[in-house]
Amino acid sequence: MKNAKKLIVKDLEIVYCKHNRSLTAVKGLSFASRENEFLCLLGPSGCGKTTALNAIGGFLSPKNGEILLNGEPITGPTRRIGIVFQNYALFPWKSVNDNIAAGLRMKGLSPYKIQKTVNYYLKVMQLANYSEFYPNELSGGMQQRVAVARTLANDPEIILMDEPFGSLDAQTRINLQEMLLRIWQEHKKTLIFVTHDIDEALLLGDRILVMTKRPGRIRKEIRNILPRPRFYELSTSNEYAKLKKEVIKSLE
Amino acid sequence: MPEATTAFNKLSTAITIGTFAGFFILWELVSKSGMFNANLFPPPSVILGAFLESFADGEFKRDVSASIFRVGMGFMLGSILGISLGLMTGRVYLFRVTIGQLLNFLRNIPSIAFVPLAIVWLGISEASKIFLVVWGVIFPVWINTHQGAAQINEQYLWAIRSLGANRMQAIKEVVLPSTLPFVVVGLRMGIALAFITLVAAEIAGAFYGIGYRISSSHLIFRVDKMLLGIVTLGLLGFFADKLYVFAIKKTLPWIEIR
């Protein structure tokens, strides 16, 4: 099952209606993501990559095309597909602990089991001392760590990430990227990661799908052969520079 | 940090108490200075005398407890109705265009305009007073709840759904708590409006109550008793608000209320 197609997006078209005008965000978008693969969708802002992700999450209904998870069409949001938003979308009325526990509680697990899982992710995401804090008491980087923990704790089959580190400062971003790499290395989740940052895609992804401008579709597929485990230092290597050139060329 | 906060809070309380003391001392001095007719503008010391007299014969207690009962009942009923209606019109299109528009029509009618009608319908009873207080409370609570429920951040709903929530769980986990900060504001306005309508209702017709006492003292020219009623209303409203803010801080620590 290593290379089984986990998620298939087929000929997707999504049209928005705003102010009495329709806008085609995505058209003819097709790609597949494999089991346990770290897939990056790379494209300029406004290219429809977030729209595509929201459709996969089941939040938007496409005008045309279909999205299949394990061969079954997605009809709406489901706990099988987890998502991390760019601006975290943490529940301000829940403490860090309760944000991370939210999905598990709705599943109706025993409090003991829930707390065990929550404690694990508090530790992994280095939040153990902040479990009683509320989101508005945390920095952006910490909030995003909570959001990642919230999604991971719910153990979805596939995780979507929408420019999760886009609004963080460079230092914090690198820390979180490396943290994400560590966790992914350990848990091997199927991940679809949207970004406009070439370096981020190179550091994280197994494959990089470069998107066109709006209406977005896949322009080029680049296999990221850089060795794992990866760390930020990787970005100084020659292989990295070569691959980066290839990506830049595909964006032109 | 907590120690500094405690010290700061103590300082704030001291300043507030000082401000009130200063206000009443200034009033006392101005009133006794002879600038105004002291019969029309009695000093706090005279009002304190009126309080002691009224307290001794049980009148004060009866008036205040009657008023608090009316405000409390009206506020509770008005809040429950206002919150329920707000959630309905804020979240459901059908309710927004039907009940919502009807409420927008009713909302602009001052509750005071209903005073004579309430007496015709319900007589000089507790029911007529409570009805008027409900009328005063329901609309600020409704419109704030409505606004809060209508503008819920869609991503919260998306997030909870993708964490596995069904419709009912989404309401419990996101819709209600997202609306709460708006409800908190609506209720705070509701408290003030409850007192306003209460007094209007009691002045128009009652056998006891703070508003009634102000109005009846007017007929026997007891300015001190009128002012006693007015100061009592101010203090009741002040402490009701303080109690409310305290309760919110204790129970909903994620809401910033000042």
Residues A162 and A75 in one domain: yes
**Which tens digit of pLDDT belongs to each residue from B43-61?**
999 999 999 999 999 999 9
Q: How confident is the model at residue A3, as a pLDDT?
A: 59
Is A112 within 8 Å of chain B by CB? Answer: no
Residues β-bridged to residue A134: none
Domain closes at, from A108, A128, A155: A155
Q: How far is B254 from chain A (nearest CA, A)?
A: 6
Query: What CATH code is carried by the domain that includes residue A218?
Result: 3.40.50.300
Q: Domain ranges for chain B, please list them.
A: 1-34, 51-251
Domain boundaries, position A24: 1-80+156-252
Q: What strands lie across the sheet with A190-195, from one edge to the other? A: A81-84, A158-162, A190-195, A38-42, A207-211, A218-223
Is B115 within 8 Å of chain A by CB? Answer: no
Characterize the bridge pairing of strands A21-34 and A38-42: unpaired
**Which tens digit of pLDDT belongs to each residue from A7-30?**
999 999 999 888 888 888 999 999
Task: Look at B158 and A103 and tell me if their CB atoms are within 8 Å.
Answer: no
Whether the pLDDT of residue A213 is over 90: the answer is no
Task: Look at B254 and A89 and tell me if their CB atoms are within 8 Å.
Answer: no
pLDDT tens, residue order, chain B (258 aa): 456 778 888 898 999 999 999 999 999 999 999 888 888 999 999 999 999 999 999 999 999 999 999 999 999 999 999 999 999 999 999 999 999 999 999 999 988 898 889 989 998 889 999 999 999 999 999 999 999 999 999 999 999 999 999 999 999 999 999 999 999 999 999 999 999 999 999 988 888 999 999 999 999 999 999 999 999 999 999 999 999 999 999 999 888 877
Domain closes at, from A106, A121, A155: A155
How far apart, in whole angstroms, are the C-alpha atoms of residue A235 and residue A221?
20
Whether a cis peptide bond, with omega within 30° of 0, leads into A227 is no
CB B122 within 8 A of CB B161: no
Could you say which architecture CATH assigns to the domain B51-251? Answer: Orthogonal Bundle (1.10)
Number of domains forming the structure of chain A: 2
Residues β-bridged to residue A73: A68
Residues A173 and A247 in one domain: yes
Angle at A23 between CA A218 and CA B175, to 5 degrees: 100
Tally of CA atoms within 13 A in the half-sphere of A231 that contains its CB:
1
Is B163 within 8 Å of chain A by CB? Answer: yes
How far apart, in whole angstroms, are the C-alpha atoms of residue A80 and residue A28?
25
Global pTM exceeds 0.95: no
Task: Look at A134 and B253 and tell me if their CB atoms are within 8 Å.
Answer: yes
Phi, psi dihedrals of residue A240, rounded to the nearest 5°: -60, -50
CB B154 within 8 A of CB B99: no
Q: How far is A93 from chain B (nearest CA, A)?
A: 6
ipTM of the complex: 0.92
Residues A242 and A142 in one domain: no
How far apart, in whole angstroms, are the C-alpha atoms of residue B73 and residue B50?
28
For residue A96, give the chain B residue with the closest CA.
B254
Is B49 within 8 Å of chain A by CB? Answer: no
Residues A246 and A168 in one domain: yes
